[in-house]
Structure 1
Amino acid sequence: MSAEIRTLIVDDDVDVVRMHELLVRSLDGFEVAGTAPRIAEAARALEAGGVDLVLLDVHLPDGSGVDLLTQLRARFPHVGVIMITAAAEADTVRAAIGRGVDGYLVKPFTVDDFRRRLVAFRAERAQRPDRLSQDAIDALISGTGPAPRTGPLPAAAALPKGFAQPTYDLVAAAVREAREDVSATHIASTCGISRVSARRYLDLLERRGVVELRPKYGSAGRPEHRYRWI
């Protein structure tokens, strides 16, 4: 990757593209590599090279951004992808996560939301080693690497290694929208992830101070962890 993260903006809304261009150019370490209103134009830009990151809408005139994401992962695995879209349907989010999206930001969003996603992407790429140890490989495959216990984390901090931004966003949204305290089992079912993964993300949210852990005692006296959005 070059010193600047060369960013391709894929969206058919001219006003949205203009806003994204301004925001990308306002961030250190990023430059706009180009724009594309359709999948066909985006594919040609990727074939030409010189793209490190794609900001990708889901609803495009000639198809779904998820389909382009599938092509990207098969042909350009080194290129990062952040979905920036109004599509918040669970199936769409899960499809994007399953195809290895690097971030998922739902419209409308704040400028700070946008900047946090890109800064987190830049930080993750900067920390990515050229080679991995066997333990690191096993943790990536299993998705069960332990979260570091370093005390409370600010909500705007980059995610620790072993966590994915789209999954974090999905779990956070599920807790925030719940009408009552929720368990890891409930979140796992809602988000389509394992209970172990749900618990890891819930614990991270609790350490960041955005959810509250509320033990609920069952008939045998053993507390069941429940979580509530603060």
Structure 2
Amino acid sequence: MTARPYRVLVVEDEQLTAETYVAHLDRLPGFEVAAVAGSLLAARQVAAAGLHANGRFPFDVVLLDMNLPDGHGLDFLRQLRAAGFHGGVLALTAATDLPVVRRAVAYGVTQYLVKPFGFDEFADRLGGFRAASAMLAGDGALDGQEQVDAVFRVSRERRAEALPKGLTESTLREVVELLGADPETALSAAEVGERLGISRVTARRYLEHLERIRRVRRSARHGGRGRPEQEYRWAGRT
């Protein structure tokens, strides 16, 4: 059965910025826009309407700006938490002053992304949220300290895997999908480049990045003349 996508409430008073977030979300599988609110009042009305209708919040994730025309975003978050909202909250803001960051941590902000940022950073933070949420889905118990540590480690790992300059998240996903579709088959940089329509040098940079974060294994391909060609086989998770 296909999992229900995460419903996202966008709280952002700048219309063009809000529209950009909506466009970004449309590109990300597993997320859908529940509502867009340009003020604290509008955000509170969205939450209240859902609670009044069926006793549930009509969103699972909040993308939250801090400086809104009628107050501070963290005031809305404090009210949400007090009302029993346990979903993810991603702060997307230009605010970097420590008192705001401390309050954000205290109120359970899941990710904190400082403006300006691009689609790849946006997608990475949403991906970190989704990965952590998947590990916490369902009931039952985690199997000891190792699995508990894994839950708290997942978002840090994604930050450690940040792409080197010049690489993009979209092309990386194409490389991952190509190798992950057939983990038993090893491909060279030239073969990856040919299949994805990128140069051999560019393909090698992505493959070396994946090797560095232990998603692929590299080995020498023998049998031809001259130096052995390097080939890469999928070893990680897609």
Scaled by the length of structure 1, the TM-score of the pair is 0.59
* Partners of 1:127 and 1:46 in 2: CA distance: 26
The answer on 1:162 being equivalent to 2:170 is no
Q: Equivalent of 1:62, from 45, 70, 82?
A: 70
What letter corresponds to residue 109 of structure 2 in structure 1? V
Query: Does 2:109 align with 1:101?
Result: yes
In structure 1, the partner of 2:26 is: 25
Q: Secondary structure at the match of 1:119?
A: helix
**C-alpha distance in 2 between matches for 1:79 and 1:70:** 13
Q: Which runs of 5+ in 1 are unaligned?
A: 140-144, 147-159, 170-206, 209-230
Deviation at residue 71 of structure 1 after TM alignment: 1.2
The one of 105, 121, 136 aligned to 2:129? 121
Is the radius of gyration larger for structure 1 or structure 2?
Answer: 2
Aligned-pair CA distance for 1:39: 1.0
Alignment match, 1:5: 6
CA-to-aligned-CA distance 1:108-137 (integer Å, 9 cap, x gap): 11211000011111111111142335956x
State the shift of 1:79 in Å. Answer: 2.1
Q: How does 1:29-108 map to 2 (within 5 A)?
A: 29-47=30-48, 48=50, 49-108=57-116
**TM-score for the superposition, normalised by structure 2:** 0.57
Residue identity in the other structure for 2:83: R
Amino acid at match of 2:80: L
Deviation at 1:34, TM superposition (A): 0.8
SS at match of 1:161: helix
Could you say what secondary structure the match of 2:132 adopts?
helix
Percent identity between the two aligned chains? 37
Contact 2:136 2:151 in 1 (8 A): no
Question: SS state of the match for residue 22, structure 1?
Answer: helix
Residue 131 to residue 46, structure 1, CA distance change in 2 (3 Å): farther
Matched, 1:131 2:140: yes
Deviations 1:43-102 (A, max 9, x none): 121221320111000001111111111112221333211000000111111110111111
Structure 1 contact 102–164 (Cα < 8 Å) conserved? no
**2-side partners of 1:71 and 1:25: how far apart?**
28
Are the aligned partners of 1:72 and 1:79 in contact in 2 as well (CA < 8 Å)?
A: no
